[in-house]
Amino acid sequence: MFGPILEGERVRLVPLTPELAPLFCAWFADTEVTRYLSLAYPPTLDFEKEWLEKVGRSSTEVVWAAQLKENEKVIGTTGLHQLDWQNRSAVTGNLIGAKEEWGKGYASEIVALRTDYAFGTLGLEKLKTLVYTENTASRRALEKAGYQTVGVARHERWHLGRWHDAWLGEALRDDWLARQ
């Protein structure tokens, strides 16, 4: 499903639309943007459109486009995936595809908005995430938003001809509420 509009200080999370498919394809064709994703090949436009339709119907995913409030520029995506309603947990993910916006702190705000929605609106108990250990910027954004280290999974992903270790993080509802 597509998430509702969530307003932050500098960013807004908005529902995905089919018109975003070409932008996503451009991001996924850029190896610098995808270097920390387990993506073997860039998706086709048709594939991306089908994915948008599928996720819109899903009851186990909530996804958004991340947009700058000042000019409505879409800079990335974020989501809650593999929603487990019985155990009230989900796996999270982010992508800042607009490289010119890297390093400006938007990811931390995006993570905070998504996490607040997961705990405050959906009533989830735990959010889990996995980040390549080399992706220090993503890890910093998650930790700034309250995610804590669970451990490191060694040789977790084979990507670009070598094994990558992954930082495993989680956020718990009680910890999140205590920070507010």
**Is 0.75 surpassed by the pTM of this model?**
yes
What pLDDT is attached to residue 179?
A: 87
Task: Report the topology of domain 6-179.
Answer: Aminopeptidase (3.40.630)
The Cα 59–Cα 110 span in angstroms is 21
Q: What angle do CA 140, 110, 172 make, to 5 degrees?
A: 70
Cβ distance 104 to 51 under 8 Å? no
Could you report the per-residue pLDDT of 11-28, keeping only the tens digit for each?
A: 999 999 989 999 999 998
What pLDDT is attached to residue 43?
A: 83
pLDDT per residue as tens, the chain (180 positions): 899 999 999 999 999 998 999 999 999 888 888 887 877 778 888 988 998 899 999 999 999 999 999 999 999 999 999 999 999 999 999 999 999 999 999 999 999 999 999 999 999 999 999 999 999 999 999 999 899 999 999 999 888 888 999 999 999 999 999 988
Residue 76's φ and ψ, nearest 5 degrees, are 180, -165
